[in-house]
Structure 1
């Protein structure tokens, strides 16, 4: 390719990666989809492509749909052990993030709920909510009618709204104070204080560090507080299992306040929090190494010098 063709693709790479991440919930898979699109762009007769952005969007979307429909992906996700891959705030894959709807579409909760949508519903929803494509444009990208696009988006919104609690944005400083207090209570083993910080309908989900065959799900403040206390309380056995003493850092993951457990300079686990009315309404715990590679790379570049709040 000539320099102009390469530059044209690179100018849209971040947007394409953000689209693929929302569709697949995986940074690694999103990068693969964008690279495949690059190869197709390289091989295409570009003189016949009138609107490169639209052409590339359609290619990436269809590559992602093919993957979502594949037997391998359907088997893995039907097994009940899948969570989205978390990303540190500031990662280009989280953009665009100008509106509440765009930021919400990349939250761990919504990415998880989108797993329950049919692939074409998920694509129509993402293209509309996160990228503001018209139904005419979505119809062209997905090879469907405008009426079908409207129906897919309507059904997706309804299904997500039915399971997603009403949410408003929380002041980052206030969220940080809540998470700091929660971490202090968790490390000290004060279960009563943990219970007081959780909403009555609080939920927690964890991948069990990738060791469990299915996701671990908990509901209710007392059960969650007991789980958190057991997980954060330092013991020699845990230090040995972790390969060292974890240092706990505050951060933001997929737009939410989070605690990062760092062992020997590498991110070994993440707990992301959802705040509602001054309390913690949901926790997502992710510690499977395969889900943390992209986040750890970003941590090495931007956060590794940060001072921890607690160390075992």
Structure 2
């Protein structure tokens, strides 16, 4: 009689690895196809059966994309809205979460429930009221019109609050006895202890701001104020068949900066997202 000496836990582990490999393939293959398609001409893209590898790696489509639309100006607009929008979101989230945890204010648990409820509200519901307000303020085609309506981050506030509940209160109490005010306690003690959570919230905020398409499309109609996702629409050839190779080249140029930020912060992301997961 042959006895299987392998641990029973090894069999489910194999299934888990296969599932993870399948999930990774589903996410990565479209990116691989986009990168390869950015080097193909029209004939290669419409060829059957599908040809994965391009015949040439000449950056013709990238040259065409950068000459067709002002990517440099779009990049500056995206960088400004992303840096200011993500930075202010994190700042407001930090200060709001600090107040909900460390400041003795009335009904703070009620305010936390309001934040949780805000997570359940789709952003599309508030598009029309926000647009009406921005138009009334004269902020159409401006940076503040793109940035200000999205500054309140319920996700960041929630994640920061959950993390702050895990911090040792003795450190802050000692700082308070030494005469440190709330801002000193926040920046000198709480922020240095919250690196992984800040990285996680920062990444989510950066990706959200960089990839935002619908809101900038509503409030911006001047090409010199367009961001990269909106500017990509100028590559579409509405008179005939779109040159998808050129469009894929432009999409790669939009995607690369976000991927670079992700790889820089990936070590802290998981730790930040699981922080406070079991905290009430």
Structure showing the higher strand proportion among its residues = 1
Structure with greater helix share of residues: 2
TM range (shorter): under 0.3
Tell me which of the two structures has the higher relative contact order, counting C-alpha pairs closer than 8 angstroms and 6 or more residues apart. 2
Decide which structure has the larger Cα Rg and report it: 2
Q: State TM-score, norm by structure 2.
A: 0.25
